[in-house]
């Protein structure tokens, strides 16, 4: 499995970037969606797990970046998929970046403020590395 961590403080826009990534990879949630699950089903901006089939690869996108146990659980739960893109709050004392370093391909993208560039960068990582 390839892992891409989108790291940043609370409010940096990690989840927002990953919701946008899902929309791009799934053509606005209409194609190749295997799983789309929200914590708060009435709030489309709430934390979510997505699995999308893209270029014949299964990609899990997890936006629960402020919940450490969920980040760790996602690494285990989606280990059989091709790619995991995971929001990760860098305030955790356990460094997920160190935990995922055992994987052949892992990438840490540091996010400091909300902007569009992060979503584009993650898309490029997925598209060029698959």
Per-residue CA distances from 94 to 17, 77, 83, 103, 112 (Å):
23, 19, 22, 17, 19
List the domain boundaries for the chain. Answer: 2-129
pLDDT band at 112 (very low <50, low <70, confident <90, very high): low
How many CA within 13 A on the CB side of residue 39?
A: 11
For 19-69, the pLDDT digits (tens) are: 888 888 888 778 888 888 776 656 555 677 889 998 888 999 998 877 788
Question: What is the distance between the alpha carbons of residues 47 and 24, in angstroms, rounded to a whole number?
Answer: 17
State the sign of the Cα–Cα–Cα–Cα dihedral 66, 69, 72, 78. negative
Tell me how many helices (H) and strands (E) the chain has: 4, 6
Torsion angle of the four alpha carbons 89, 54, 36, 113, in this order, in degrees rounded to the nearest 10: 30
E strand spans, 1-130:
2-8, 33-38, 48-54, 57-62, 83-89, 105-111
Mean pLDDT check: name the lowest of 50-54, 66-70, 84-88, 110-114.
Answer: 110-114
pTM over 0.85? The answer is no
């Amino acid at each position: 499995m390839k892992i891409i961590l989108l790291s940043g403080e609370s409010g940096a826009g990690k989840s927002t970037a990953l919701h946008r990534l899902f929309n791009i990879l799934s053509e606005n949630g209409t194609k190749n969606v295997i799983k789309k699950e929200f914590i708060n089903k009435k709030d489309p901006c709430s934390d979510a797990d997505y699995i999308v089939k893209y270029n014949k690869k299964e990609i899990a996108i997890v936006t629960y970046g402020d919940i450490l146990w969920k980040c760790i659980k996602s690494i285990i739960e989606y280990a059989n998929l091709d790619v995991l893109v995971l929001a990760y709050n860098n305030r955790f004392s356990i460094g997920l970046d160190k935990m995922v370093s055992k994987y052949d391909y892992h990438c840490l993208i540091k996010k400091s403020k909300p902007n569009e560039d992060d979503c584009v960068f993650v898309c490029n990582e997925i598209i060029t590395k698959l």
